[in-house]
Structure 1
Amino acid sequence: MKNNFEQLIDVLPLSASFTFGIREVTTILEKQNNDLNPLFISELYESLLKLESWAWKVLSKDSYQWINQPNYLNLFYTLISFNKNLIFNYDYIDDNIKAALLIPDTIDLINGIFEQINRTKDDNDPFFTIVSLWFDNISLFIYENPQFDTSPIICHMNQYIGHNYLMTEQFLFYLIQLQQPTIAQTIFTTKQLFYIRTCSFSLNSYLAAQEEDFPFTAQEIMNYIGNDFVKIIDVHSHIIDMWSEKLLTCIAHLIGFISACCWWNGENITHINFLFSSEQILCSYISAIIRIISYKPFYSHITAQWITDETILMDFCLFSLRNIVQTQNFIWFFRSKISLPDTLLTIAGLSVHDKICLRAYVILGEILCSERLKDLKITDNLSLFFYNMLEQALQHSSKKYKQIPIFHLLRSFSTLSKIDAIQQKTADLNKISLFIDISDQYPIAFDILWALSFNQDTQQQLRSNTMFMSKLLNLAKECDNEKMRKITHGILWNLESTHQDRTILEINDGKTFDIMISYSHKDEFICKQIYEELTKNGYRVWIDFDQMHGNVMDGMAQAIERSQTIIICMSEQYRRSNYCRAEAHYAFQRELKIVPILLQEHYQPDGWLLFLIGQLLYVDFTKYEFRRGIDLLMKEIQAEEISESSITPLRSRAGTVALLCNIQTPLKISSSSSSSSPIRSEKIQDWTKTDVYDWLIDHNLIQMSQLLINCDGQGLIYLNNFIKNGETTQILNLLQDESFRLTHESLSLVELSYLRSLIDQQKHVPKSQFRRLFRKRTIKTEKNKSCCQLL
């Protein structure tokens, strides 16, 4: 067969008037597509290279000469299948060989194809189909092997697509068509699919790894097509069972492309803000994507390879959610979606596509608190799943696991490594050496080791590795990279057996501080304002505005040792920070007075941060005007024993977090007690929207809290009167419609009944009883205030 194939390739015609050898070459390729003989490519590489070059030349010439000839069409479709197999089913073939076969030699060949596309008048010309499949294979290859996206051919191809197809009125016209809830299948022409699917996929693969080499910025792209994209996803996420195959592929690749724009240059929050101009729009988009991944009929079509539209859709949806959860302060909203953890667990358990499993696990690691992860008992399976992938990737010559590069695996695990249960399982499995061994080649491993080093068993394993300890000491002294030096100092700090014995130098320079402010640099703006207010009031305040250089851990320690009080500025970014964790722990060890303040709306402390601050009260800067927050903070700093009732107790939006975390929340009020917070009026009509929300959550009315999110106390009374005096069936139907619109769930009659009962009870609580309950809660708060222990 070898000699015959070589001879056939040598005489392939470039003129469509000749078809000699076409059918025979097709037959040989079809057999190879079935057999996947591993020797075929290595033995016939030169002939295959000639065949691919021949195909590019034919595609770049006048298609009308061959497009209607069955022999040519059969060969092209067979070669397209062969190229897809080359990407997915020949792991032993070097990526450079694959690139040589798939990527054309010259820009002229690409330009020839584009010229034919631009001349074509028939929107259903089969040439669009051939070219789309041909380009899709290149996009697949670049997506799986991003190191080749710097090829001049690939750069030219995508820049041309950006100029001539993406940022055009034609692209917008197709997007407007897709916004209609009922779509005629006739709009899905081969030209439309080329624009929406193929061009989006090509740009997605290109931008996912590119830094700057593109003629348009992310902002320009978002401004041009962003609003139309958001409308398409919102409209069709409510009618998924009506999707056609062509609509599915369009939506999948639009989500992928927009996600790539948002992730352009890494974790770029600004890009996401260009797309989602308000919190409401972002919440609506998150809900839409959750509806899509919750559609169970998709699950059976997920394959181990990226070859079905359902697989691509689920991968891109999870990629989009992961980007949002890691860059936006919206974990509270993810946690309000009660069914989401079960959905992600189902996807992770059923999916045979490992990247999809990994994305689902990473999102779970982000949105669930440590106690909830323990309750679900998924950390063991998650750890084993990850280490199996990493070890196989390390052993493979390509340094990939099923097309997932090691760096991508490590980047995903950097999130999971901050989870206490994952840290313990890693130590139990003795996997610390894996990260040590690859730390030179993959510097992100040092950041993972820093997170893992908060675990005592891990600390012992690291200390026993004398070579690695020597490496750390050397890096701490000689490394020129500021970030790497900070990480190594952080690991070494954690590995000190005890900081209680640390020698505190005698303070002769008079530089002592009343207060130290510990914060994440993403919260720098408001922390500067707090710093300025404190200094105006005569306090000596230490705060790191310029991000310390040199040994940052020693600088941090000295600041703590010179301070009497530490203000811990709580936010999701603070909890995620290894440095902030070390700083807060050392302040606790030194028995500084800890004053927590909340800077992120809806954030509820969990994990190490919750354990550290115990039952302490915090000042909620998201609830009060800044001036009022400062006044409360001053009182808290000055108080010897806290009795300031206006400071918010560490509540957890009790219902939601109790369901998701299953832990005893600080200062939680039992359901038999009054659920009114110390600052909530006894009169329902005086309640704000926040009061209503907190009251509903305190009573575990989760669905009602979402359904009545914009309802204040007066509105609550009106609603109760409507239900009481209106026509029952009509009222229930209206509430049912509203429930579907806002929560995508059926109305819970149990919650609705309980809500009415609570309203009636609240309306008849005597003032004397309300005051007794108020005093009882305040006394409990004061007693628990002293309970701050590291669990």
Structure 2
Amino acid sequence: MYTNFELLIAELFTTPVSTKVVYQLNLILQEQIDVSLSKFVAECFSSILKLESWTWCLLSQDFHQWINESSYRELLYSLASFNKKLVYDYSGIEVDRKAALLFPVTVEQIKNIFQQIEQATDDNDPFISIVSLWFDNHSYFVHDNPHVTKLSITDYINQYIVERYIMNRLFKSYLAELQRLDLSSTVFTAKMLFHVRTSLFSLFSYLGTKDHRYFYTADEMLRYLSDDYLQIIHVHHATVAQWNRDLLACIGHLTGVIAKCYWSDEKNGTNTKILFPTEQVTCNHVRELIQILSYEPFYKEIRSVRWNDETVLIDSILMVLLNIVKTQNINWFFRSNLSIRETLLNVAENSAYDEICLRAYVVMGEVLTDEQLKELKITNSMAGFFFKMLEEAWQHPSKEYKQIPIQYLLRDFQILSKNDSIKQRTADLSKVQLLIQVSEQYQTVYDILWTLSFNTDVQQQLRSNSFFMSKLLHLTRERKDEKLCQIVNGILWNLHIHQQSRPSSDISSQNTFDIMISYSHKDKSLCKQIYDELTRRNYRVWIDFDQMHGNVMDAMAQAIDRSRTIIICMSEEYRKSNFCRAEAHYAFQQQRHIVPVLLQKHYKPDGWLLFLIGQLLYVDFTEHELNVAIEMLLKELSANDVHEVDVQPVIPKDVAEVILPSVSRTTTSKTKALSVDTERHNMLQWTQAEVQEWLTKHRLVQLCRLLSDCDGRSLVQLYKYMKGGERSVVISLLEDDCIRRLNESISLIEISRFRSLMHQERWNK
């Protein structure tokens, strides 16, 4: 057959070309579409290249000479299908060989093709449909290989498309047509689909390449497209079951370009207001996208590559959603809407395309609380799915998993790793050593390891790798990369290495601050106002406005040691920050008086932050004017007399299921001897001395030393915390306290006996 194919190719260059030759070539190509292409390409590379070159030449000449010949049209459709399969054939055909076969074309030929499209008088001319397939295959290839050397014609194609087919009145008129609910199928002409579907697909793929040119900025593109995009989604989201394939394709590729333009400004977030001027617009759009995403018939059409319109649509929607949750504070909206959670989970569990599955998992990891993820019972599958991809990418020569670079996988796992259940699952799967290996080439992993190191099991796995521990210590001494050095110091801090034991009473009479403000730097503006108001009232306030340099962990600890009260500025960013978590934990362990303030509208403390603040009363700066909130804060501070070293904690009237943070305190009651027959319902009123006597009586030697500052209420709260909290988090905090204060590991035997004894007490009955 291969010999016959080569002979037929030779016949193409005779004049005139026999329709029989064209017909036989068509049959051979159709046969190859149904089998692996690698052998055919290996055996007939030169002949296939000649066929591809002949085709580009044919398309660039006057199409009226051949367009009415059915054999020509059928050959071109078959070759387009062959080429699309070639793009996604991973059986061993090198990318460079694919590019050579697919694009043996000159800029002049591309220009001639564009001119023929513009000169076509029939909006449904079959020539436009055929060349659309060629440009689509170019887009498929560029999207599937964004990190390879850019094709010489790619810049030209996309500059021409953007300037001549997208940024013009005809394109805008097509978008206006798409905003009608009663769309007729006649709207979707070949020319219209070339302008909207093919052109937007080309731009989407191009924006994903390295070193692409900016014909227009992302800001300009969003301003140009955003109103039309939002209106099209708004009009059609509720009628998704009635969409035809052309509408599906147009919406999918338009959404893809919006996502790419939005994505390009992810760090700065300046484009957010262009697309979503208000929070209400954002929430409405999320609701509409979720309704489209929930249409289950799409799921069975999703392919393992970005091959068809359904896959494009679902992937593009998830890209937009991921951009939204990364740039806007609307996690509360996702958390409060059960259908959103169920839809995202459904997509993740039913997608054959790994990038769709990964995006759905990352959106859920970004927006849902630890408790909500537990309810969905997906943390095991999330972690397993990620580490499968990471292991394959790490072992692959190009460090990719199905064209997903390992850097992208690590970026997404940074988000997932903030969840305490993912931390525990990482430890259970013994994947810490894999991450240590990957860290040799990718520094991003150090930040991930810092996040994971808040888990006690992860800490043990890190300590067990003596070579890595030596490397961490070496990096802190080297000090070449300040940011990396800070992250490494954070890991070592969590591992209790090179920490100095700082007793809770270590507050010197000199250089002492009344208040330390602990905050995320994304909340700097409001925190600066709080700082100004407090200092104006003669409070001595410590706050890091300039982001500390050097050993940040030691500087943070010194600031807490020299402060009497810690104001914790709660927000989503505070909860996500490793620095903030370490800071809050240390304040908790050093028994500083903690005053929480809420800075983010709709945010409800969750995860480790909820664990630390318990049911402490907090000042809500989102519900009150600044001056009113400041007065409330001042009353809270005044009630605890932060100008004095001894302060009284704010304690809710009822004992909560979640522990209150330990705080510095004094007691006005005189110490009494504890009788063995003391009524157990009085435990809440026990003094520190009575607690010590009870612990000693039951031979809880280590806990007697560890809980030296606890009274009865604190003891009850600790037990409630043990009973209702996350096991790994509770043990981790107790372990941290024990190592820092006693320089020894926590005794699980004593913890078990303590829980048993507390369970027997009458107050619990």
- Shorter-chain TM-score bucket reads 0.7 to 0.9
Q: Is residue 31 from structure 1 mapped to residue 31 from structure 2 by the alignment? A: yes
Q: Deviations over 1:596-621 (max 9, x none)?
A: 11111001110111111112111111
Query: Could you tell me how far apart the structure 2 residues matched to 1:9 and 1:542 are?
Result: 80
Deviation at 1:581, TM superposition (A): 1.3
Matched AA of 1:100:
A
- 1:134 is paired with a residue whose SS is helix
* Aligned partners of 2:143 and 2:206 also within 8 Å: yes
* Aligned partners of 1:650 and 1:666 also within 8 Å: no
Tell which deviates more after alignment, 151-160 or 446-455: 151-160
* Aligned partners of 2:302 and 2:308 also within 8 Å: yes
Query: Could you tell me how far apart the structure 2 residues matched to 1:157 and 1:32 are?
Result: 29
* Aligned partners of 1:618 and 1:648 also within 8 Å: no
Matched AA of 2:195:
Y
Query: Could you tell me how far apart the structure 1 residues matched to 2:324 and 2:240 are?
Result: 22
Deviation at 1:251, TM superposition (A): 0.9
Matched AA of 2:316:
F
Matched AA of 1:491:
I
Deviation at 1:478, TM superposition (A): 3.1
- Residue 303 of structure 1 is matched in structure 2 by 303
1:294-373 paired onto structure 2 within 5 Å: 294-373=294-373
- 1:516 is paired with a residue whose SS is strand
* Aligned partners of 1:262 and 1:268 also within 8 Å: no
Tell which deviates more after alignment, 55-64 or 254-263: 55-64
- Residue 168 of structure 2 is matched in structure 1 by 168
Which of structures 1 and 2 has the bigger CA Rg?
A: 2
Using the size of structure 2 for normalisation, the TM-score is 0.81
Matched AA of 2:49:
L
Query: Could you tell me how far apart the structure 1 residues matched to 2:239 and 2:18 are?
Result: 50
Q: How many residues align?
A: 661
Q: Deviations over 1:420-454 (max 9, x none)?
A: 11111111111112211122333322222121111
Deviation at 1:580, TM superposition (A): 1.4
- Residue 138 of structure 1 is matched in structure 2 by 138
1:639-788 paired onto structure 2 within 5 Å: 639-640=639-640
Query: Could you tell me how far apart the structure 2 residues matched to 1:289 and 1:551 are?
Result: 45
Q: Deviations over 1:719-753 (max 9, x none)?
A: xxxxxxxxxxxxxxxxxxxxxxxxxxxxxxxxxxx
* Aligned partners of 1:450 and 1:578 also within 8 Å: yes
1:217-366 paired onto structure 2 within 5 Å: 217-366=217-366
Deviation at 1:540, TM superposition (A): 2.1
Tell which deviates more after alignment, 534-543 or 488-497: 488-497
- Aligned pair in 2 of structure 1 residues 78, 482: CA closer, same or farther (>3 Å)? farther
Deviation at 1:299, TM superposition (A): 2.1
Query: Could you tell me how far apart the structure 1 residues matched to 2:185 and 2:106 are?
Result: 37
Q: Which runs of 4+ in 1 moved over 6 A?
A: 503-509, 647-651, 663-667, 783-786
Q: Is residue 153 from structure 1 mapped to residue 145 from structure 2 by the alignment? A: no
- Residue 384 of structure 1 is matched in structure 2 by 384
Query: Could you tell me how far apart the structure 1 residues matched to 2:347 and 2:449 are?
Result: 29
Deviation at 1:623, TM superposition (A): 0.2
- Residue 654 of structure 1 is matched in structure 2 by none
- Residue 535 of structure 2 is matched in structure 1 by 535
Using the size of structure 1 for normalisation, the TM-score is 0.78
Query: Could you tell me how far apart the structure 2 residues matched to 1:352 and 1:664 are?
Result: 43
- Residue 605 of structure 2 is matched in structure 1 by 605
Deviation at 1:505, TM superposition (A): 14
* Aligned partners of 2:657 and 2:717 also within 8 Å: no
Q: Is residue 84 from structure 1 mapped to residue 88 from structure 2 by the alignment? A: no
Matched AA of 2:312:
I
Matched AA of 1:372:
Q
Deviation at 1:203, TM superposition (A): 1.1
Matched AA of 2:272:
I
Matched AA of 2:637:
I
Q: Is there any run of 5+ residues in structure 1 with no aligned partner, and where?
A: 652-662, 668-782
- 2:196 is paired with a residue whose SS is helix
Query: Could you tell me how far apart the structure 1 residues matched to 2:557 and 2:40 are?
Result: 64
- Aligned pair in 2 of structure 1 residues 375, 18: CA closer, same or farther (>3 Å)? same
Matched AA of 2:404:
I
Deviation at 1:195, TM superposition (A): 1.3
Query: Could you tell me how far apart the structure 1 residues matched to 2:511 and 2:199 are?
Result: 61
- Residue 120 of structure 2 is matched in structure 1 by 120
- Residue 100 of structure 2 is matched in structure 1 by 100
- Aligned pair in 2 of structure 1 residues 205, 512: CA closer, same or farther (>3 Å)? farther
- Residue 437 of structure 1 is matched in structure 2 by 437
* Aligned partners of 2:155 and 2:212 also within 8 Å: no
* Aligned partners of 1:615 and 1:786 also within 8 Å: no
Query: Could you tell me how far apart the structure 2 residues matched to 1:639 and 1:61 are?
Result: 86
Query: Could you tell me how far apart the structure 2 residues matched to 1:399 and 1:588 are?
Result: 42
Tell which deviates more after alignment, 22-31 or 275-284: 22-31
Matched AA of 2:280:
Q
* Aligned partners of 2:206 and 2:212 also within 8 Å: no
- Aligned pair in 2 of structure 1 residues 120, 602: CA closer, same or farther (>3 Å)? same
- 2:314 is paired with a residue whose SS is helix
Query: Could you tell me how far apart the structure 2 residues matched to 1:14 and 1:440 are?
Result: 59
1:402-551 paired onto structure 2 within 5 Å: 402-478=402-478, 480-496=480-496, 499=499, 501=501, 510-551=510-551
* Aligned partners of 1:514 and 1:564 also within 8 Å: yes
- Aligned pair in 2 of structure 1 residues 479, 501: CA closer, same or farther (>3 Å)? closer
- Aligned pair in 2 of structure 1 residues 650, 547: CA closer, same or farther (>3 Å)? farther
- 2:364 is paired with a residue whose SS is helix
Q: Is residue 66 from structure 1 mapped to residue 66 from structure 2 by the alignment? A: yes
Deviation at 1:480, TM superposition (A): 3.7
* Aligned partners of 1:615 and 1:650 also within 8 Å: no
* Aligned partners of 1:6 and 1:44 also within 8 Å: yes
Tell which deviates more after alignment, 513-522 or 196-205: 513-522
- 1:569 is paired with a residue whose SS is strand
Query: Could you tell me how far apart the structure 1 residues matched to 2:245 and 2:398 are?
Result: 34
- Residue 129 of structure 1 is matched in structure 2 by 129
- Aligned pair in 2 of structure 1 residues 256, 549: CA closer, same or farther (>3 Å)? same
Q: Deviations over 1:483-511 (max 9, x none)?
A: 33332222222222595725999999954
Matched AA of 1:133:
L
Q: Is there any run of 5+ residues in structure 2 with no aligned partner, and where?
A: 643-649, 661-712, 722-728, 731-765
Deviation at 1:167, TM superposition (A): 1.4
Deviation at 1:40, TM superposition (A): 2.1
* Aligned partners of 1:569 and 1:596 also within 8 Å: yes
- Aligned pair in 2 of structure 1 residues 16, 217: CA closer, same or farther (>3 Å)? farther
Query: Could you tell me how far apart the structure 2 residues matched to 1:422 and 1:349 are?
Result: 18
Query: Could you tell me how far apart the structure 2 residues matched to 1:87 and 1:610 are?
Result: 50
Deviation at 1:144, TM superposition (A): 2.2
* Aligned partners of 1:252 and 1:316 also within 8 Å: yes
Matched AA of 1:108:
E
- Aligned pair in 2 of structure 1 residues 268, 74: CA closer, same or farther (>3 Å)? farther
Q: Please provide the CA RMSD for this pair.
A: 3.0
* Aligned partners of 1:13 and 1:20 also within 8 Å: no
Query: Could you tell me how far apart the structure 2 residues matched to 1:229 and 1:219 are?
Result: 15
* Aligned partners of 2:165 and 2:171 also within 8 Å: yes
* Aligned partners of 2:597 and 2:621 also within 8 Å: yes
- 1:632 is paired with a residue whose SS is helix
Query: Could you tell me how far apart the structure 1 residues matched to 2:469 and 2:221 are?
Result: 48
- Aligned pair in 2 of structure 1 residues 241, 542: CA closer, same or farther (>3 Å)? same
Tell which deviates more after alignment, 57-66 or 256-265: 57-66
Query: Could you tell me how far apart the structure 2 residues matched to 1:308 and 1:197 are?
Result: 12
* Aligned partners of 1:149 and 1:206 also within 8 Å: no
